[in-house]
Amino acid sequence: MSNKRRLLLATFVSVLVTAGWQLNSQLNAHGFNDILPIEKVEIEGEFKNISHDNFRDQVVAVIDGGYFSLDLDAMRTALISLPWVDDVSVRRQWPSSLHIKVTEKRAVAYWNDNAMISDRGDVFKPEIISRQLSLPKLNGPEGLHNKVWMFLTAINKDFSAMGFEVVDLNLDERRAWSLHFVSENVTEKIEVKMGRDHADNRLVRFVRVFSNMNKLDLKNIAVIDLRYPNGFAMKIKNNITARHELVREA
């Protein structure tokens, strides 16, 4: 390619870029964006916890321009910050519409008294939290929700195999672990104390011992304490007193 042709091509590209910028400036200067306001918004999504009416009101509140001037990135940022929104896409539809696709967060657990954990491991705080969902309750120091959730995930398989359902898992300020579970035959929660150190190893030992025992009647058991070097103690419910029975590993 000759130098003359290169110069002509460079000049042509420069004109295109400049013309595009000038056209957009002229549209704004003459109020053309106001001539094409957003007249219709289509919202797509499977809502279980998001109120369609409330979400629509939020959309209306963040529309701050016409078809050409609306900042889609800013709009998406505002909508994705809503508590139950996991992801959102916003696109224009000619000549005066927006199409918004929303993915709702999927909650997998309660976190402390005022938050929930999503399947992505994020903590979010809805204005209203329904306590009727069949989700485990996790408690712990702020910032350690992933640690507690991962521990629950690790122990759930063994507990499920024994017919138990973990209903809550707790990590206190001293970093000591405890949980409550129910079984098919026992609806009252049974507490398991694991202590601070080697909680995972203690649970492995408990599962191994419990699995080798004959079917144990759990109806009268209030607490299972794993904080023993070679076994675990069971606190038996009694109308008057309570006694401890130590089960040792063979």
> Which CATH number is 108-248 given?
3.40.50.11690
> Which CATH number is 34-105 given?
3.10.20.310
Choose from 1-5, 184-188, 201-205, 233-237 the range with maximum mean pLDDT.
201-205
* Whether pLDDT at 243 is above 60: no
* Whether pLDDT at 222 is above 80: yes
pLDDT value of position 34: 59
Domain ranges of the chain: 34-105, 108-248
Work out the pLDDT band at 18, boundaries 50, 70, 90.
very low
Q: Which pair of tokens denotes residue 120? A: 């992505």
pLDDT tens for residues 163-172? 899 999 999 9
Question: Do 34-105 and 108-248 share a fold?
Answer: no
pTM for the whole structure? 0.76
pLDDT tens for residues 66-85? 888 899 999 999 999 999 99
